Amino acid sequence: MRNILAICKRELLSFFVSPIAYFVITGFMLLVGFFFFNYLAFFARMYEMSQVMAFRGGQIPNLNQTVIEGLYQTMLVILVFLIPLLTMRIVAEEKRRGTFELLITSPVTVSEIVLGKFLSLAVIVVVMLSLSGIFPLLLVVYGSPEIPPMVSGFVGVVLCALGFASVGMAVSSFTENQIVAGVSSMVTLLLLYVIQAPAESLGGVAAEVLRYLSPIEQVQNLLRGVISLQSVAYFVSFITLGLFLSQRALEAHRWR
């Protein structure tokens, strides 16, 4: 555990010494804030119209579905593009500089290296998402949203983001070029994001498999306030697979 924490601390220092983490977190906050106030303005317009149409049986819009669920789904789209910027250098940069050879010859295991690096990514992702939580909290202060879907949805976004980070780290472990790692991670995450798209046209078992493999499909229940054991198990497996691939890639590099 001491080695894992030491590697994590080292990675966090390297993230915050360079401008990468600041740019990614600031960009994420600006985008989330922009979309939050757009969703809120849209809800306000819908609410005013529903009041006017109330005598005709018009339905009052749901704050959670219109603003919070929409915001969380948008956050996942943003993370598809921003997380590769965090993960692209996590291993590839060390290989390019030649410092990775020093790391793997030190008295630490490959598993400790992988876990330490992933833990640093997890800290940055959780901090970034926690900062963005100020926007849903504004609704709690000034509105009356349902709290359980808000909390479970946030947990779903965190789990999905950690899954994205594990995939990005795995891709970075297979190359020495940051640009290749970043672009490859982005393409991989985009494919995972849209993997369920052909499900309706395929139908049958193939459709069910594609829906199960899709992180976006798996997170839907959590966004709606339903904590599903299947979804949690999926994300744990998703993260574990990313870490396993990272470990295998680094093991292969170690014995070259």
Give pLDDT, residue 61.
67
Tell me how far apart the alpha carbons of residues 170 and 161 are, in angstroms, rounded to a whole number.
14
How many CB atoms sit inside 10 A of residue 206's CB? 12
Domain that holds residue 23: 2-254
Residue 89 in contact with residue 11, Cβ under 8 Å? no
Q: How far is CA 120 from CA 2, 46, 96, 132, 254, in A?
A: 14, 42, 20, 19, 22
Total residues belonging to the chain = 256
For tokens 């996942």, the residue is 76
**Mean per-residue pLDDT for 142-154?**
84
Tell me how far apart the alpha carbons of residues 14 and 20 are, in angstroms, rounded to a whole number.
9
Q: Is the pLDDT of residue 56 over 60?
A: no
Residue 256 DSSP SS3: coil
**Mean per-residue pLDDT for 174-189?**
88
pLDDT per position as a tens digit, 97-131: 666 666 666 777 888 888 988 999 999 999 999 99
Q: Which pair of tokens denotes residue 38?
A: 């757009």
Number of domains in the chain: 1
Q: What is the 3-state secondary structure (H, E, C) of 21-37?
A: HHHHHHHHHHHHHHHHH
pLDDT per position as a tens digit, 9-43: 888 888 888 788 888 899 999 999 999 999 888 88
pLDDT class of 55 with cuts at 50, 70, 90: very low
What percent of the chain is predicted at pLDDT more than 90? 30
